[in-house]
Structure 1
Amino acid sequence: MSSADPIVRIHGISKSFGKAVALQTLDLDIAPGEFVTFLGPSGCGKSTTLRILGGFETPDTGRIILDGKDVTREPANRRNVNMVFQDYALFPHMTVRQNMSFGLELKGMGKADIKRRLDELMAFLELDSYADRYPAQLSGGQRQRVALARALAPDPALLLLDEPLGALDAKLRGQVQQELKSIQRRTNKTFFFVTHDQEEALTMSDRIVVMNQGRVEQDGTPEELYFHPASRFVAEFIGETNLLAGEVRGSDGDEVVMDWYGQTLRGHAPAGAPKSGEIVTASLRLEKLGFHRDRPATANAVQGRVVGKTFLGSRMAVDLLVEEAHGARLKAYVDTATGQAVGDDPVWLGWEADTMAVLRG
């Protein structure tokens, strides 16, 4: 198997539980060393995919190819895959070292080899000082690191992480996110991470697969999904956005020209650009709106009046009424100084065409 080949190939996977469809013909390749996150609301199919990869569920159709081998019908203990659960699933009566060695003993590894592997891993993950402690004597972050070390010990081809940070408080969660990403980078392991937290997905992932009702809504880098969402679902699920509905007037290269309450706007076209006369919706992120005293030279410019402000610390959310007759509004994030300086007088709002994504569907 060459380094260019996917380490995981998911081909035509579907799964139903009774009449409930969990997955609809999923196709996906995962490259070695990728940090891939499956993101979506409860019931979207992300956890079912993880369980199928781990060997805990059998798909109705399709195949799972791992490291060039078809493992679709192989049980969990015969796959070169390991899993980190949300509750860590550490054995409370075992020390850190014993928890970490458990899987290696099951594989029949000799004592000397186990000691060598654990010494190497504990030094790498800075767990030496916890080796003889029990899980109850560890903090939440320490337990999470031990669970990760135990999963890495057998050197799996693929590590599955099922919302492993869900039990941590907000501050610790942020620290562990960075640590987990650092460990993935240093080990160059392939991580398959499942979460419903869009901020967590944006922070940690090389690639995000957004799921909705058992199918993939969009698959791309965090930047692609945030700035160029392919659908309204993705635009609303990842971050906060303005949604502008209007009629297509035409296209100009990779731009769509649309009418929005009498204003001519330009946005980034999706694959398969809409035709003239179609009603479309465009996504405009709040931080992409610039405030100006005079009409700016940006591709898009509209005038608005401030009707509300919300102080958010380092920035301010500003609500603007843009079209009085129809009550059309836009919301913008600005730095606090700019937000405080904006008064009751009309202001110009400007943004470029490539910052406004015209959505499909």
Structure 2
Amino acid sequence: MSSEKEPLVRLEGISKSFGKAVALHEMDLTISPGEFVTFLGPSGCGKSTTLRILGGFEKPDTGRIILSGEDVTALPPERRHINMVFQDYALFPHMTVAQNMSFGLELKGMSKSAIKARLDELMAFLELTPFADRYPSQLSGGQRQRVALARALAPDPDLLLLDEPLGALDAKLRHQVQLELKSIQRRTHKAFFFVTHDQEEALTMSDRIVVMNAGRIEQDGTPEDLYFRPASRFVAEFVGDTNLIEGEIRGVDRASGQVRFDWQGIPLTGLAASGAPQEGQKMAASLRLENLSLHAEQPGTANAVRGRITERVFLGSRSAVDIALEDAPGQTLRVFTDVATLSQHGDAPVWVSWDADAMAILPH
């Protein structure tokens, strides 16, 4: 993804193997100043390896790491102007909050007065002043996370690496800290490189998401791009809930980008997510649950299929319903709908509709 700013970080042709297992395959990536970039993917996809290579904890087999215009590939972690926040926070249990935060500054040889000024600034900024003399065991999970973040920010690094730092928090606190972390990133204007396997976390916090699969980048884009315009079947399935249907291309309108799609004899219209589909090509299509609508009568939309509700799952503010389709025997679509709309239909046949631009045509 290009940026008008000069990249803070450039990874050029980075590869890494552990024995016969390939962790990264010729990766190219840029990160701009002040950008919140999230690496998202399943276990073993290469995201943590990338983070460790960036931080200097692993050496790549091939490629270069350029930071602020300098080749740092061979430099150790302490000479990279990069800091890291670990999942377990790695706070020193025998040190107070203030001592944990000042540790890296003392290693840099800063004077006591300069250290105090920096600690006062960061504690006020992160609302940690009342906890300065407490030990990690006396703090909540959210407070420990802020201390770890403060310690990493204290030396004023160019880039902050965060390796699943919210994994130890319960769901409610995790959501609260997600918002805090994004707010801190915006206020500090620091570049954050965040690693997670949690798709909702990635969508909530990121300026850009890089989806990894088997050591390669599947897609690099905004949360909206990945969610509504997935570039591959893997991305469509991994990011959010979707219906995937299999069919064949019947025609392509090059001017509009619309694709005519045959699904078990049902003519549908969608948009190509990437590349240029060819007539007769077997492809899949992604239909996000919230982009489908229920109707009692046949609607006048580009796409509509008829069926019956076979399953209802109450989700609070909305319900998820499964529709067994009459025109495509054995096929089911899942739809998000509000409770009021659902109550209108009962057991009567329903129509499911969606617009052409809500149907992303993907490589098979």
Compute the TM-score of the two structures, normalised by the length of structure 2. Answer: 0.97
The answer (yes or no) to whether the contact 1:290–1:351 under 8 Å persists in 2 is yes
Inter-partner Cα distance in structure 1 for 2:232 and 2:46: 18
Aligned-partner SS, 1:359: strand
1:227 is matched with 228
Aligned pairs for 1:273-288 (under 5 A) are: 273-288=276-291
Which residue of structure 2 aligns with residue 102 of structure 1? 103
8 A contact 2:271–2:361 mirrored in 1: yes
The residue type paired with residue 101 of structure 2 is M
For each residue in 1:17-54, what CA deviation from the matched residue of structure 2 results, as whole angstroms up to 9, or x when unmatched? 00000000000011110000000000000000000000
Could you say which residue in structure 2 is the equivalent of 1:320?
323
Q: 1:23-102, aligned counterparts within 5 Å?
A: 23-102=24-103
The 5-angstrom pairing of residues 12-27 of structure 1 reads 12-27=13-28
User: What's the CA shift for 1:4?
Assistant: 1.6
Alignment length (residue pairs): 360
Q: CA deviation at 1:66?
A: 0.4
Check whether the contact 2:260–2:270 (CA below 8 A) recurs between aligned residues.
Answer: yes
1:303 offset after TM fit, Å? Answer: 1.3
* Offset of residue 360 of structure 1: 2.0
Shift of 1:268: 1.2
How far did residue 310 of structure 1 move? 1.0
Tell me if the contact between 2:274 and 2:362 (Cα under 8 Å) persists in the aligned partners. no
Q: Moved runs in structure 1, 4+ residues, more than 3 A? A: none
State the 1:326 CA deviation.
Answer: 2.8
Q: Distance in 2 between matches of 1:325 and 1:301?
A: 12
Paired letter, 2:89 = Y
One-letter code aligned to 1:342: H
Give the Cα–Cα distance (whole angstroms) in 2 for the partners of residues 325 and 5 of structure 1: 52
Q: Say yes or no: does 1:216 pair with 2:214.
A: no
Question: Do the aligned partners of 1:261 and 1:323 also contact (CA within 8 Å) in 2?
Answer: no
Identity of aligned residues (%): 72
Counterparts of 2:315 and 2:274 in 1: how far apart (Å)?
36
User: Shift of residue 325 of structure 1?
Assistant: 5.9
Kept in 1: contact 2:236–2:242 (CA 8 A)? yes
Q: Which moved more, 1:232-241 or 1:340-349?
A: 340-349
Distance 1:130 1:150 in 2: 14
CA distance in structure 2 between the aligned counterparts of 1:317 and 1:174, rounded to whole angstroms: 23
Match of 2:258 in 1: 255
- Report the residue type matching 1:245 in the other structure: E
Distance 2:319 2:145 in 1: 35
Q: 1:354 is paired with a residue of what secondary structure?
A: helix
Shift in Å at residue 119 of structure 1?
0.5
Q: CA deviation at 1:305?
A: 1.2
Q: 1:324, CA displacement in angstroms?
A: 5.7
Structure 1 vs Structure 2 CA RMSD: 1.2
Partners of 1:326 and 1:21 lie apart in 2 by 42
Letter in 1 for 2:267: T
Return 5+ residue gaps in structure 2 as ranges: none
